[in-house]
Structure 1
Amino acid sequence: MSRVGVLFPGFYPGSSLPPDPAVLTTAAQVAEREGFDGFWVPERVTGLVADPVVALAHAAAVTARIGLGTAVLTLPGRPPALLATQLASLDRMSGGRLTVALGLGRADPGEQQAFGVQRAQRAALFDEALPLLRRLWREGPVTHDGAAAHYEGLDVLPKPHGAGPALWLGGASDAQLRRAGRIADGWLGASTTTPRAAERARAVIAAAAARADRAIGDDGYGSVVPYRYRDAPLGPVQQMVLDRLRAERVVGGVDEFAPTLDRLPDRLRELTAAGLSTFVLVPFAEPADWEEELCALAAAVLTARTPRRRAATYG
């Protein structure tokens, strides 16, 4: 059975309002009440999106069951020990509901300045930092000497629930997919992932995992999936995004990228047939009323899932 979550605050290029705790509370609580499996938050250091760890801590405090996830959190440029204790604290405060999808970071000059990492450095720092997170969670004093960090007998506390949050990877290049197979617990495709791209991504990831003598379970393949609440004229930001995707020949039209609610179940079935099982649904336009929108979304995509399951982590 597939797992379906929602991305808050919506399709982030269109986010035009600063973070509002009342809106966040409503979205998280309605998502849990309506039976969604996960509540995910993106990272945009230079955009009007709350820090994902802060936003998810708030969501954890106002919910009890729904899984919580980052989609996605930039890893290169973050001190591994500080990130380890931050995520472990959130995992414990949420009762072990956290999944962390990580990425190399956006190709954006502002965000590159914020993280202080040159593009050519990102991959090597990522490959070093992700296994180090697991060591800091699962071991006692850790000694490590590398480009990302130097530790001598460092014991980071608190430890998370169990072995720690599941670590998923984003990305679509062959190198990123192979990295997911080598070291990740799962893969979360971007909003432009097509069924054909999903099928290919799963094959590349599975092959890389097999070469590393490991495996990613069937529930470890997912994607962000945009949708439209109703068929209405696009706003200027949404039109700009669509025009860019058309120019890059990623999509041909808005229905191909963000289907309306009546067509969304067909898109999810296509992606399921391509090998995906976790879907993070994101409204292409910022909802005027999150409760109304999420209730309609649940009616469109969750009606076949009975009984409702207790949501947990995705690892």
Structure 2
Amino acid sequence: MIIRIGYAPAAAPPDPDALAALATGLEREGFDSLWVTEKVTGPAGDPNVVLAHVAALTSRIKLGHAVMTLPGRQPALVAAELATLDRLARGRLLPAFGLGQRDPAEQQAFGVRREDRVAIFEEALPLLRRFWAGEEVVHRGERFRYDGLRVRPTPVRGGFDVWMGGASDAELRRAGRLSDGWLAAFTTPAEGERGRRTVERAAVGAGREIEDEHFGAVVPYRRGPLPERARAHLERARRVRGPAAVDEVIPELDALEAHLKRFVEAGLSKFVLAPIVPPGDWDAELADVRDAVLHLQTRR
């Protein structure tokens, strides 16, 4: 199994100096990738703008969404935007999509009713694949209509392996039917294994196969007690799965290696580490994380 370890910055206002230190540090230390979460009502900024900035600062690390909201966006414009970013990044983009956060403010920002999100997503994602393949798209759907539209540019490799997030059974089954990989978040290793098996069963039922190494997790970690603000965020993130012990979801840094090994035993092999609290010194933080877990990575 090929294990890859990436990183996601803690939610904080965009800071060019901090972002440069993080991005260049990840590349220097041998991490696999940098991932950016999307929350319009949060402080971190637009993920594609952030990833474009990182692409200009780096040459090796891959660049991912963890995850990008699809309902509320026009598929043709998303296809062109992400293909452009992939071209500028020389083929390093890793798109991952979701329905959007379970937050009324986020749904308001995207102009999508909660009950409409699934239908929009399931119509939009296949259209993205067709646009990225360079197809002249003819489509008459409930929400999108195209009459021989071809979008340029296309991605460097003529398409993407598209990953999806999600925690509910319906979201996991959808990932099996539509995605090329599943990225869990705020989950325990045992839940990660159950989720992987659900995704795999759904893929088989749809006549598809997801590669064994296309299962991963965003893994938050902490130093010391969990701050109260982070505890409230954990409770919101766990609404679908219910309460869990903090150590099972957000381990301390010195327990992170054992935690990742449990995920590997559960069949997950792609990890996005995320500090709960933004560090004051990215060079020191990445050196500590490198020493703690990067030896688990099988390709550097």
Q: What TM bracket, shorter-length normalisation?
A: over 0.9
Shift of 1:236: 3.7
* Runs of 4+ with >4 A deviation: 242-249
**Distance in 2, Cα, partners of 1:245 & 1:198:** 15
Mapped pair 1:186 → 2:181: yes
| TM alignment of 1:299-314, pairs within 5 A | 299-305=291-297, 309=300
Q: Pick the aligned partner of 1:260 from 237, 249, 252.
A: 252
**How many Å separate the matches in 1 of 2:88 and 2:237?**
39
Whether the aligned pair in 1 keeps the contact of 2:181 and 2:214 (CA below 8 Å) is yes
2:21 counterpart (26, 36, 55): 26
The match for 1:215 is 209
Distance 1:178 1:302 in 2: 32
Q: Deviations over 1:168-210 (max 9, x none)?
A: 110011111111111101000012x111111111111111111
Equivalent AA in structure 1 for residue 129 of structure 2: R
The range that moved more, 284-293 or 57-66, is: 284-293
| Residues 80 and 151, structure 2, Cα contact 8 Å, conserved in 1 | yes
For 1:158, the equivalent position in structure 2 comes to 153
In the alignment, what sits opposite 2:121? 126
Are residues 1:251 and 2:244 paired?
yes
| Conserved? CA contact 1:79–1:148, under 8 Å | no
CA distance in 1, matches of 2:227, 2:150: 50
Shift of 1:249: 4.5
Question: Which digits, 9 at most, give the CA deviation of each residue in 1:91-135, with x for residues without a partner?
Answer: 111111111110001121211111111111111111110010000
* Structure 1 residue 250, shift from structure 2 partner: 2.1
Q: State the secondary structure of the residue aligned to 1:5.
A: strand
Q: Distance in 2 between matches of 1:171 and 1:222?
A: 12
- Asked whether the 8 Å contact 2:94–2:160 carries over to 1, the reply is yes
Residue 279 of structure 1: aligned partner: 271
CA-atom RMSD, angstroms?
A: 1.7
Partner Cα distance (2:235, 2:128) in 1: 39
1:111 aligns with 2:103: no
Give the fraction of aligned pairs with identical amino acids, expressed as a percent. Answer: 53
Aligned to 1:289: 281
CA contact (8 A) 2:27 2:60 kept: yes
CA 1:34–1:85 in structure 2 vs 1: closer, same or farther (change >3 Å)? same
Indicate the SS of the match to 2:67.
Answer: strand
Moved more, 254-263 or 236-245: 236-245
The 1-side partners of 2:74 and 2:5 are apart by 31
Q: Give yes or no for contact 1:196–1:274 (8 Å, CA) kept in 2.
A: yes
Preserved CA contact (<8 Å) 2:177 2:203: yes
Change (3 A) 1:61 1:268: same
> Residue deviations 1:230-262, cap 9 Å, x none?
32x44341243356679984222x323221221
**Structure 2: 5+ residue runs without aligned partners?**
none
Q: 5+ residue gaps in structure 1?
A: 310-315
User: For 1:153 and 1:190, how far apart are their aligned partners in 2?
Assistant: 38
Matched residue SS, 1:57: helix
Residues 264 and 301 in structure 1, CA contact (< 8 A), matched pair in contact too? yes
Cα 1:69–1:211, aligned 2, differ >3 Å: closer, same or farther?
same
TM-score by length of 1: 0.90
Match among 226, 229, 244 for residue 220 of structure 2 = 226
Counterpart for residue 312 of structure 1? none
1:225 counterpart letter in structure 2: V
TM-score (norm 2): 0.94
2: CA distance, partners of 1:21 / 1:107: 29
